[in-house]
Chain A
């Protein structure tokens, strides 16, 4: 007799290959898509791995995203004092606070407004490809292309001087390490906030043509909230698209038949972006939600206060939603994947991210038609130690 999969202790992160979610998550999705999970502090919560349940949890207003209600999912975390979201960090707020802040920004990130940025994004991409080329074969695609492209774009949009990136890049990366202690995270966050506070005060006195300047003119926004928003957008704008560009390029190079399809039909790039998002699901841990009342989910009773962790990566490989989900297939209709989340917290910058990836990969493979890895794939360091999955480095030649 086949035994039931064991109840996981902490969120499973042990991978068996570069692209697939941990085998234990796949097994859970097939056998027990809503499972009990033991959290690090002993809390008996839940873990959902199917597409349908993941979507339900993410869009049900009876679930909260308030950090005060959350139990730690990672075994590498220390057991921390739960704190509420700092001012402005609307990602971790519930309505109505979340609604009030997010609505101040949604007008800036619409499909149409992001489309207007295309020419500028193309310039930035091309100049980073020049940079990559200058460093010659063996150059690190992450350092010269995948990271600077989204970083330059978000800095320009916000009005953060890119030359001053040393003031925040080391700290944003540090915050996203899985073994970062609460104390260290607070210190790093504080340093970025001091930098942003100075910047915001200068913009309040002398506004320039950028988002942070515009927001300083909004009388409904407190100074602390604006600093929090700037912090959140800077962090979210950096590490997410950067890791999709890095890991996505590796995935394409390791699936040459798919890359050939894309090169022979450049119009395929929009669906390629969606499929790579689905296939790679770089948000590989969580998110979690907390039930605010007793509720029924997937035939189970979730009690008020219980946490439900969601595996986006497992949900995005659910055969109930996607045919042959383990295959990377750039021609499939992958839109509807949960890599940008779902519900009221679905990624604010998703339309920008799509444009960066579309232009990024189009230009990359047109500039370097013979792009290939400069080392063996096994030598590429994977970001299993980070909140956002990807590659630390990607040495390439052409």
Chain B
């Protein structure tokens, strides 16, 4: 699994940092997504990553 975040479309809702805080954070300036771990190995984290993709209101996250 590899997580991609498109910061150009991120609206800073924080849904990713809320649901998967070990994988995502938000920058202080504009609250846009930063990926802390793009290749989670743990299954709980992978599940959280899939949730974050589903919940992102801006469609900024994807997984390959």
Contacts and interface: CB of A to CB of B under 8 A. Distances in A.
Interface of A: 58-59, 102-103, 106-113, 335-336, 341-344, 346-348, 350-351, 354
Nearest to A344: B11
A106 B32 contact: yes
Given A110-B28, A111-B18, A59 B12 contact: no
B51 to A, nearest CB: 8
A109 B31 contact: yes
A348 B15 CA distance: 11
Given A110-B31, A350-B13, A350-B14, A343 B54 contact: no
B36 interface: no
Contacts of B13: 346-347, 350
Contacts of A111: 14, 17-18, 21, 26
A278 to B, nearest CB: 13
Given A336-B54, A351-B18, 10 more contacts: A58-B57, A102-B12, A108-B31, A110-B14, A111-B18, A112-B17, A341-B57, A347-B13, A350-B13, A350-B14
Size range of the chain B interface in the assembly: 20 to 34
B28 A107 contact: yes
Contact of B12 (A58, A110, A354): A110
B1 interface: no
B29 interface: yes
A248 B27 CA distance: 33
Given A109-B12, A110-B26, A350-B13, A59 B58 contact: yes
Majority secondary structure, B binding face = loop
B43 interface: no
A109 B29 CA distance: 11
A106 B17 contact: no
B57 A346 contact: yes
Given A111-B18, A112-B17, A350-B14, A103 B58 contact: no
B5 interface: no
Contacts of A350: 13-14
B30 to A, nearest CB: 5
Nearest to B26: A110
B24 to A, nearest CB: 9
B26 A112 contact: yes
A350 B32 CA distance: 15
Interface in B31-52: 31-32, 51
A339 to B, nearest CB: 12
